[in-house]
Amino acid sequence: MRVAILQRVCTSYRVPLFKKLSNDKEIEFKLFIGENIPESKVKNADDICGINYFKLKTKFVKLRGHYFPIHADLIKELKEYNPEVIICEGESNFFGYLQAIIYRIFYNRNVKLIHWCFIALPGEDLSKKRMTAFLKSFFRNFFSGFLLYSSYSKRRLQKIGGVSDKKMFIATNVGNTEKMTKAYRDFNFSKEESRNQIGINNRFTVLYLGTLDENKRPELLLKLAQEGDDFGTYNYVIAGDGPMFEYLETRIKKLKLDNVYLVGKVNSELYTYLNATDVLIIPGRGGIVISEALAFGVPVVVYQADGTEYDLIKQGETGIILENGAIDDFKSGIQYFAKLSKVELDHISDSCHNLILTQFNSQNMVDQIKNAVKTVCSNKF
Ramachandran sector of residue 342 (left: φ over 0; alpha: ψ -120 to 50; beta: rest):
alpha
For residue 152, the one-letter residue type is Y
* pTM value surpassing 0.85: yes
List the pLDDT tens digit at each of the 381 positions of the chain: 999 999 999 999 999 999 999 999 999 999 999 999 998 889 999 999 999 999 999 999 998 788 999 999 999 999 999 999 999 998 889 999 999 999 999 999 999 999 999 999 999 887 777 777 788 889 999 999 999 999 999 999 999 998 999 999 999 999 999 999 999 999 999 999 999 999 999 999 999 999 999 999 999 999 999 987 888 899 999 999 999 999 999 999 999 999 999 999 998 899 999 999 999 999 999 999 999 999 999 999 999 999 999 999 999 999 999 999 999 999 999 999 999 999 999 999 999 999 999 999 999 999 999 999 999 999 755
| CA dist., res. 248 & res. 53, Å (int) | 40
Asked whether the domain spanning 177-358 has the same topology as the one spanning 2-174+361-378, the reply is: yes
Q: Which CATH architecture has domain 177-358?
A: 3-Layer(aba) Sandwich (3.40)
Helix, strand and coil in the chain, % to nearest 5: 45, 20, 35
Its sign, for the CA torsion 200, 264, 244, 119, is negative
Question: Under DSSP, is residue 43 helix (H, G, I), strand (E, B) or coil?
Answer: coil
H or E segment and range at residue 102: helix 94-106
3-state secondary structure (DSSP) of residue 124: coil
CA distance 41 to 102: 29
Write down the CATH superfamily of domain 2-174+361-378.
Glycogen Phosphorylase B; (3.40.50.2000)
Domain ranges of the chain: 2-174+361-378, 177-358
Pairing of strands 66-71, 58-63: antiparallel
Residues 6 or more apart in contact with residue 302 via CB below 8 angstroms: 281, 282, 286, 290, 309, 313, 319, 320, 321, 322
List of residues 6+ apart from 254 with CB closer than 8 A: none
